[in-house]
Chains A and B, each alone.
Chain A
Amino acid sequence: MAAPTAIAALSAPDYSPGDQMLLTVTYSDTDTKPLTVTIVVTDAQGNSSAPVKVTAVIDPLTLTVNDDSGRTWTRVSDNGSVAVYRAVA
């Protein structure tokens, strides 16, 4: 399995007290693949159900954010390759 990659970028190099801070994490892993599984149930008589689709991710990634000053970062969005977190300076 391949190793994931991650890039972290802040919205500014420094902040004044009370400023909104945004952290954008761009991440990926070549093994991570979204896929869709289509299920059809067939009985002994050959009757088939209507197809049901479910989605799954192979080798999903988990993302953690830690701030050594103890500041709490809250996830604003995450589309599977770009996640945005927010904190207050």
Chain B
Amino acid sequence: MPRVTVQVRDAAGHTATATANYALSQPVLGGYYLSGGADPTADMAGGNFRSLTQYRSFADGYTFPGYNRPWLINLGRAGVQMNMVLELKHYGAPNAGPQSFTVDGTSYTVPGPSMTIQQRPGTTWPKAYGYGQVLNGQCDGLFHRALAQYRTLGFGVNIQLASELDTDHEFGTTEGSRAYTWAESDARAVQAMNYILTWFKARTLPAGTTFSIGLGGFDRACFQRTHPEALMSRLDFLQWNTYATNANDTALARFRRTKDWGVADLGPVALSRPVIIAEWGVRSAEIPNQPAWIATVPAAVAKLNAERGPRIVRTNYFNSGWGTLSPKAAGLAALRAAYATRPYV
């Protein structure tokens, strides 16, 4: 760590010395996600893409690198930092029921997922392994299966537990026959995340393994409830997602919203953690000129990082859903240009 030493000397040779240390940060990592978890190699080629988000369900028998995803190993070996979102959420058939399998000689039978999440009225509520199931040890086999595959990858990743707990809990959850409010669901999730962290951290993990939990970051109270200091002391990153869905949304305002809540509400341990923006995007319906908006992101991130509070270290563009680049070529060109700009270089 560089150090500045200041010396003040008077005429008689008496001196006083003061020092100040500082750190030089690495450039922010520009990153990507391609719709459907598809191979992003072609889109990333030749650009300064150094980070990638991926989603896997613990229910899936192929979490690392994922089913038919050998490219993930190539990208990881090439130094792309992986943010692997591992979800208790079940992505649907097949295997919606109990699963029996053997990992490293241990046989497991994991019951079917017993919780519903994302209970938005008028929609089909997705299933997820329940926080109670996790705490009862019923999901240990899922964790073991994921870990066994992870150990063969050859590089360390960030494991982000859940994609967006706020989205999962916004309309409450139900496990078994019992309904839980949003706040109750948050408290149960914190317990379950702690359980999963304890499970993984008690075992040998690939070098470079880090952990975070997933939040959309759109609700201040939920963000605070899900980031108690005791949990944050076991996590390496803060995380939230950032979308522009209104014609008046500026990059600075959108990237800063959750940060400002965090700085105001969270404790010193949480605020000592750097930030992964696992998803960011600009919705073309409201902001047709996606390239122009993307071009404002580097300056916004640089400005936020020059301010007090946790530093944003990775930003992964979500080229899917709200963030779908349309037309893709122009959006990708804008991303490449942005990631070739300070603070990404």
A interface residues, Cβ below 8 angstroms from B? 1-10, 12-19, 21, 23, 25, 27, 29, 31-32, 59-69, 71, 73, 89
Contacts and interface: CB of A to CB of B under 8 A. Distances in A.
Given A13-B22, A15-B25, A60-B11, 8 more contacts: A1-B11, A3-B10, A14-B22, A16-B305, A17-B27, A63-B9, A64-B9, A68-B2
B6 A64 contact: yes
Given A6-B8, A59-B10, A65-B4, A25 B305 contact: no
24 contacts: A1-B11, A3-B10, A3-B14, A4-B8, A4-B14, A4-B15, A6-B7, A8-B18, A12-B306, A13-B22, A14-B24, A16-B24, A16-B25, A16-B302, A19-B306, A21-B22, A25-B18, A27-B6, A29-B10, A60-B11, A63-B6, A64-B9, A66-B6, A89-B24
Contacts of A60: 10-11
Interface residues of B, number: 31
B78 interface: no
B9 A62 contact: yes
A64 to B, nearest CB: 5
Contact of A1 (B4, B6, B14, B306): B14
Contacts of A62: 8-9
B311 A14 contact: yes
A2 B14 contact: yes
B202 interface: no
B19 A8 contact: yes
B283 to A, nearest CB: 29
A64 B7 contact: yes
Contact of B10 (A8, A61, A66, A71): A61
A27 B311 contact: no
Contacts of B23: 13-15
A11 to B, nearest CB: 9
B9 A61 contact: yes
B17 A6 contact: yes
B4 A8 contact: yes
A31 B10 contact: yes
Contacts of B18: 6-8, 25
B12 interface: yes
Contacts of B5: 8, 65-68
